Amino acid sequence: MEMDRETMKSDDFYNENYQITQVIESVKQRKDVLTQDGRFRLAVRYCLVRKCLHRPIEYLRSSDKCDKYYVSDAILADEILIEILLSVIYQLNIVDFKLDLENSAFLDLSWELPRIINVDLVPSKDLGISVKYAGERPIITKIRANSVVHESADINIGDVIECINNVPVLSVAHGSLNTLLKTSRIQPVTLRLIKAITDPTKNTIHPAMIQLYKEIQLDPETVRASLNRNHNPTQGSTWRNCNLKLKALTGFTITYLGCVCVGRNNEAKAIDKVFANFFWPPRTPQQRDKSLKEEVLFEVGELGIKFSSVARRCLMKSHMFMEISGCSCITLMPNYFAYIAGNANSQPKFSYYFFCAPDAEIANVIMQLMQQGFRRTNYAV
C-alpha cells in the first residue's frame, strides 16, 4: 500500500479519492506521531473508521502502478490475489469501527495502544507529583502522600502525562511543563494520562512503557505497587466511601471558622497565607473574633453551595458557582479548606470562607464536588 509523494500529490489521485486524501491530511496534521510506521498505522485506523481502506488499493490497480512499487510475487502485483484482497477489505466496510483516533500513543512503536483516561483534579497549590522525561514523554515517578493526586485512585506512578487542561505536553521543553503546572495551580486541572497498566486485573504493563522505564531507571515493580495502593483499600474504606456518597446528597457537617474580606485579592494560592494570618494560631483578640467555630451543614448543589447553622437552624451563606473564584485545602492541614467568593466589577470585593472538616478525605470530597460544579457552569477558576 506504499505510494510515493508524487502519486499522492497528483490531481487524479485527489479528485478520484477524496476520502483517502482527507485521511492523509488528517495524519499530516498530527504532531504526536513522528515516524513513517506510526503515520501508516494511524492512517489505517482513520481508513477503518471512514470506510475507505480499499481506496488506495483500487487506485494502484486502476493506475497500473503496482508493478512500479512491488516485486512480482507480491500480493498487490498479482491480478488474482489483489482481487481476493480487495474482496476481503470490502467486507470491512460493513463493520462500524469505533476507534479512538485521538489515542495515538506508541503507534510509532506498536499496533498495541495503551489505555488513555482524563482525570479531573480540584484546584490546589501543588499537584504533589515528580516527573522525569524518557525521551519526549513526561512520566510520573513519585506521588506525595496526602496530595491532591494521591487522593485520586486513577493516577499512578509510571503514567505518562499527555495533556494538561487540553494543552499537549509530549515533546515540550521541561521548563514549559513546569510553567504550565504553575499556571494551573489556582484552577481545576484536567490531566490526560497514558496509563502504564494495560490490564489492571493482571497488572500488565504496556511493552513500550517498559522501554521508557529503562531510560529513567524506574522499576516496573514500583509501578505495580502504585496500582496496588489504589486497589487494596484498608478495612472499612468501602463502607466509608458509600457513606461519603450519601453525605454528598444530604450535606456535610463541618466547622465554619469564619471569613476574611480581602478586597481585590481573589487568588486561591493566597489561601494558605490568609489562613496563617487570621486563624492559626489566633494571636490577638481581633483575630480570635474572626474564628467563629460554628458547626454547619455544608451542601454542594447543582448551581452553587450553601451552609447553614446546625444549632440555630438558619441559612448562613450561599453562593452560586459563578460567584466563586477559587477553592483549596490548606497545604499543611488538609482537613482545613476555604473558598473565595465575591464580585469582579469596577470595585472588586472578595472574601475567603474557611472551614474545618473532620478529616482530609471529607475535605477532598467537598473540593471535588465544587470542582464538578465549576465545570457544570462552564466557569474556570
Residue 289, classed as helix, strand or coil, is: helix
Mean pLDDT (the chain) is: 78
Report whether 76 contacts 70 (CB < 8 A). yes
Nearest partner of 365 among 187, 238, 246, judged by Cα: 246
Quote the cell numbers at residue 205.
Answer: 504493563
Report whether 369 contacts 268 (CB < 8 A). no
Q: In the CATH scheme, what architecture does the domain 242-376 have?
A: Roll (2.30)
The C-alpha angle 97, 103, 105, rounded to 5 degrees, equals 130
Quote the cell numbers at residue 374.
Answer: 465549576
Report whether 46 contacts 27 (CB < 8 A). yes
Predicted confidence at residue 5, as pLDDT, reads 47
- Domain spans of the chain, in order of start: 5-92, 116-231, 242-376
Report whether 32 contacts 160 (CB < 8 A). no
Nearest partner of 264 among 203, 352, 181, 184, judged by Cα: 352
* Torsion sign (Cα): 316, 320, 324, 330: positive
- The 8-class DSSP code of residue 234 comes to P
Burial of 348 (C-beta count, 10 Å sphere; 0-12/13-18/19+): middle
Model confidence at 243, pLDDT cuts 50, 70, 90, reads low
- How does pLDDT run across 313-343, given as a tens digit for each residue? 899 999 988 888 888 888 888 889 999 888 7
Nearest partner of 323 among 365, 355, 351, 301, judged by Cα: 351
- CA pair distance 192, 70, nearest whole angstrom: 41
CATH topology of domain 116-231: Pdz3 Domain (2.30.42)
- Name 131's bridge partners: 140
Predicted confidence at residue 332, as pLDDT, reads 82
**3-state SS, one letter per residue, for 170-211:** CCCCHHHHHHHHHHCCCCCEEEEEECCEEECCCCEECHHHHH
- How does pLDDT run across 93-111, given as a tens digit for each residue? 888 998 888 888 788 888 8
> For residue 209, which phi and psi values (nearest 5 degrees)?
-65, -40
Exposure of 179 in the CB half-sphere (CA atoms within 13 A)? 7
| Mean local confidence (pLDDT), 154-163 | 88
Question: Which residue stretches of 217-300 are H helix?
Answer: 220-231, 237-250, 271-278, 285-290
- How does pLDDT run across 42-95, given as a tens digit for each residue? 999 999 998 888 888 888 887 777 777 788 788 888 888 888 999 999 998 888
Quote the cell numbers at residue 177.
Answer: 511543563
> For residue 374, which phi and psi values (nearest 5 degrees)?
-55, -45
- CA pair distance 216, 366, nearest whole angstrom: 36
- Say whether pLDDT at 261 is over 70: yes
Exposure of 162 in the CB half-sphere (CA atoms within 13 A)? 21
Predicted confidence at residue 353, as pLDDT, reads 93
Predicted confidence at residue 198, as pLDDT, reads 78
Left, alpha or beta for 303 (phi > 0: left; psi -120 to 50: alpha)? alpha
- CA pair distance 374, 381, nearest whole angstrom: 8
- Say whether pLDDT at 279 is over 50: yes
The residue assigned the cell 450535606 is 251
From first CA to last CA, the distance across the chain in angstroms is 50
Residue 49, classed as helix, strand or coil, is: helix
What is the pTM (predicted TM-score) of this model?
0.54
Nearest partner of 369 among 324, 313, 332, 311, judged by Cα: 324
